[in-house]
Structure 1
Amino acid sequence: MPIDPDVAIGAELGSVDFSWTESDVLLYHLALGATDLSYTLETAGLQVLPSFGVVAPTFHASDPPPLDLPGCDINLAQVVHGSQSISVAGPVPPCGSATVTTRISEIWDKGKAAVIWQEGVARSASGEELWTTRSSIFVKGEGGWGGDRGTSSPVELPERAPDTDTTYDVWPQQALLYRLCGDRNPLHADPDFAKAAGFPAPILHGLCSYGIVLRTLTEQLLDADASQVAGFGVKFAGVVFPGETIRVQGWREDYRIVASATVAGGDRDGAPVLGDVVLTLA
């Protein structure tokens, strides 16, 4: 069968050595629409949004990522990015080098689809753990082998008024800039490719929305202090087209911030962008 869980679950996907510079961090923050000088000027005590750790290992990639997973005979057309999270051991340094080791941690059987989870741990040259990422992909047309369906614990939003309710206007060219952060998938740049994939126009990278929402919550509720962020996780719930507006609502709780992200205005007003948004406080 296209997915063999006995082979896939627990399979090591190898280790990748990578490095990053202040210029990479500055480009990443600018691609998220950052304007605060602590994110955009190296002489202002440059800090790093933890979401940078998700893209750092592939930041200099110029080809679409291969989908070569042990025990998984699938193609890119079947795949949707389902969720993403990162937890950091401390503030991400503005430059450095590391090695990330990734494995397939779980596969869920949803009947008409499969959910494949990957976990990656990044360590410095001295072996110090820097961050851990977890991500899932939703593989349409697979599943049905009788495996574990997995868990589902939706994040409940408080009924009170949000502590922040703000909007961000996505630039028409923002996806073209963000693709320089290591994701050259033509879905985000080529109108003909996007139409063939069923979209009326190229869509914004999901990880760009991910970073925009983290930046917004950090600026609005944490005084733009990225060191207060211990982790950030979301479920990808919908798409954003360049030129649209993202509305971010956030509620601060004792040890975390919970939030929602939706499209604001236009024909798609209220359409979901990110769900189950949780920012864990350091």
Structure 2
Amino acid sequence: MPIDAAAALAAPPRTGTISWSPGDVQLYHLGVGAGRPATDPGELRYVLEDRLHVLPSFATVAGRGEPGVIRALSMPGVHVDLARVLHAGQSLTVHRAIPARGTARVTDRIAAVHDRGGAAVLVLRTEAADADGPLWSEEARIHVRGEGGRGGDPGPRRPAAPLAGQPDLTVERAIREDQALLYRLSGDRNPLHADPGFARRAGFGRPVLHGLCTYGMVLKAVVDTRLGGEVTRVEEYRTRFAGVVYPGETLRIRMWHPAGPAGTADTAGPADAPDPADTAARPAGSAAPEGRSIADGSAAHRAAPCGPSACPGSVRVAVTAVERDDAPVLADTVVRYR
């Protein structure tokens, strides 16, 4: 049955209550690569109870329920085969620091249905609030193959400005062979990320890493290298999923800062707008040791991120897979910070 855009957009919001504990936060952090090296004080802030802080992208799994992509498929007017679904993009706005233990009221609704010809793009908007007020807002963009071509609204396609010049900083992050098996314990049990047979039916040679796992790994890299590990400075984070990454590969993460005039990132387009400039690949090389800065930007700039209450701005990021000749993984990626 095709997507009924009118029914999906007219449906009332779906609400529920979620809760999470420090153990959920720790499991998520391990799922996005935290804790390596295991004796690094910066890594221990992600995994030890007595100093635990929360990476804002934890919002995407808080409550350990189904991820936004799966929740969208159960909304009224949406009846599609999971094997035809891909996560196209994600955006997150953090209204205040996420506590390590909490309970929140969550509201989901289909905010838009875009007709892209050969596919439809659903936009699921989620709002979370606790007793003290709003915590976060997020949007998941879901690409459904074969559901376009009905003359519907194509949605915005504002191209992102090209990433100019050499990045200020490039780091590499190794992905464990079992990273997807660990990450799925935070709630995303989509068989695409674990079952080889399902992955083949979906058109992939083997299971792929969760897009939101990559999303979390990249935000952690930005926080650790650009914000001095201060997770509470993150205000907004958005990306477009430009390609898959496989467990066992290495992410090359390039960062440009400031991201635009006066440190803004307003030239970046929406999370599902294609940007050929962001897919330009630098020649692949051997993977650097984990966590090492491999090129670009002065050592002084890397070693001296802004202080706790100074220098609000943004970082633009491009992410590629080293072993596949810098195949694009994330594009149109922006982290805004306080």
TM-score (norm 2): 0.78
Unaligned residue ranges in structure 2 (runs of 5+): 36-42, 264-312
Where in structure 2 are the equivalents of 1:7-156 lying within 5 Å?
Answer: 7-35=7-35, 36-44=43-51, 46-57=52-63, 59=64, 65=70, 67-124=73-130, 126=131, 128-156=133-161
- Three-state SS of the structure 2 residue aligned to 1:238 is coil
| Structure 1, 25-34 or 197-206: larger mean CA deviation | 197-206
Give 1:10 shift.
4.3
Contact kept, 8 Å, 1:12 with 1:102, in 2: the verdict is no
Q: Which moved more, 1:10-19 or 1:26-35?
A: 10-19
Question: Which residue is equivalent to 2:336?
Answer: 280
Between the aligned residues of both structures, percent identity stands at 43
Q: Is the 8 A contact 1:29 1:40 kept in 2?
A: yes
CA distance in structure 2 between the partners assigned to 1:155 and 1:248 by the alignment: 18
**Scaled by the length of structure 1, what TM-score is found?**
0.92
1:229 aligns with 2:234: yes
Q: In 2, Cα distance between the equivalents of 1:187 and 1:41?
A: 31
Name the CA shift for 1:263/1:78 in 2 (closer, same or farther; >3 Å).
Answer: same
Deviations 1:113-160 (A, max 9, x none): 111111010010x26110001111111111223222111233335323
1:261 counterpart residue number: 319
Check the 8 A contact 1:157/1:258 in 2, yes or no: no
8 Å CA contact 2:55–2:220 kept in 1: the answer is yes
2:244, 2:329 within 8 Å by CA — same for their partners in 1? yes
The farther-off stretch of 10-19 and 90-99 is 10-19
Partners of 2:78 and 2:5 in 1: how far apart?
8
Amino acid paired to 1:271: A
Consecutive unaligned residues in structure 1, runs of 5 or more = none
Letter in 1 for 2:49: E
Q: Is the 8 A contact 1:10 1:105 kept in 2?
A: no
* Aligned-pair Cα RMSD in Å: 1.8
Count of residue pairs the alignment pairs up? 276
